């Protein structure tokens, strides 16, 4: 989920996270708008004088490097952390990913589509034309 678009404010991000929790989404990835070089968003933010850092080490998609329109830099950073902390309050990202993988395997076993991976066996792919 991309956070920090020009129409996002604190209330919008809180409502987004609440909605994702209410629908019991398995996993979510939160990132902050990051104006990477040679992108339209970079060009726009440069023209508006909103770029705050040109230190490429800060361009992690988890750190605010521009001035958001509807909140402070610190508030957007806090809302990014709020999104992660709130969505994964009951279990961590890795645990949820493992649980999702386990459910997929169980469903494949139930419907007969599960095939255990064997690295010693040559992989065969069906030709679409056959």
pLDDT of residue 126: 67
For the chain of 130 residues, list the mean pLDDT of each consecutive stretch of 10.
Answer: 98 98 91 97 98 97 98 98 93 74 84 79 66
CA distances from 108 to 105, 112, 120 (A): 5, 6, 22
Give the pTM: 0.75
CA distances from 5 to 11, 42, 76, 94, 107 (A): 13, 13, 10, 27, 37
Q: Are 100 and 27 in contact (CB under 8 A)?
A: yes
Give the DSSP letter of residue 106. H
């Amino acid at each position: 989920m991309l956070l920090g678009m020009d129409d996002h404010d604190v209330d919008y991000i809180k409502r987004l996270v609440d909605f994702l929790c209410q629908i019991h989404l398995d996993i979510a990835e939160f990132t902050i708008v990051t104006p990477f070089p040679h992108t339209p968003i970079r060009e726009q933010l440069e023209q508006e004088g909103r770029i705050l850092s040109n230190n490429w080490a800060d361009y992690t998609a988890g750190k605010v490097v521009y001035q958001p329109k509807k909140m402070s830099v610190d508030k957007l950073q806090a809302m990014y952390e709020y999104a992660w902390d709130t969505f994964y309050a009951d279990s961590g990202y890795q645990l949820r990913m493992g649980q999702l993988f386990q459910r997929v395997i169980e469903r494949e076993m139930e419907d007969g589509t599960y095939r255990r991976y064997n690295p010693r066996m040559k992989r065969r792919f069906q030709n679409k034309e056959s």
